[in-house]
Chain A
């Protein structure tokens, strides 16, 4: 069966520090992978998506970047966090169609 792993679950980081969130999927090949952010009490904003290794598309200009070094690995990064980067970050994958979300990372930038 397919599973998706996302870590860490919670993170508190100071402004200006770097960020690395990791997501891996198991039990599927060549999935579409996505990073979403959910601000407190708000909807889901698509940040990045990837259709294959090394292929990253950005949906909104921001302080974040994404990489896909392996077929089943998707990484969200930042060199210097801003207060506005706080939120609930969700990785998701889809084969066709419908999403399965990871358990999320709650990031607080202080």
Chain B
């Protein structure tokens, strides 16, 4: 089955700096890669996703890149703000079904 590895487990950046979170997946059949943000005590919420036919997608300060050959994808947050502090999860699935999540990255943005 699918296995998703996520790094780093904890990331601390200064406000205004960029943050990068990286994930690798094992199942070459995976074709949908969402990212979720979970604030303390709350539900994970989808912030951006990418399909395997696209190499990069951007939404304001957030971007995701995908390298299908190497089976890895990354989340990039630019101009970080304190409200970006949260746990971020990458995930992989085949068509959005039975999504497998990474272990999460706890992001701290220091003001």
Contacts and interface: CB of A to CB of B under 8 A. Distances in A.
Contact of B46 (A46, A90, A98): A98
A103 B45 CA distance: 10
A56 to B, nearest CB: 13
B101 A44 contact: yes
B45 A98 contact: no
Contacts of A101: 43-45
B89 A90 contact: no
Interface string B15-40: 00000000000000000101010000
Given A44-B44, A90-B43, A90-B44, A97 B100 contact: no
A87 interface: no
Interface residues of B, number: 22
Contacts, number: 55
B93 interface: yes
Q: How large is the interface on A (under 10, 10 to 19, 20 to 34, 35 or more residues)?
A: 10 to 19
Interface in B73-89: 89
A76 B2 CA distance: 24
Given A42-B103, A96-B95, 19 more contacts: A34-B98, A42-B104, A43-B103, A43-B104, A44-B101, A46-B98, A46-B99, A46-B100, A94-B96, A97-B32, A97-B34, A97-B93, A97-B96, A98-B46, A98-B49, A99-B96, A100-B46, A101-B43, A104-B43
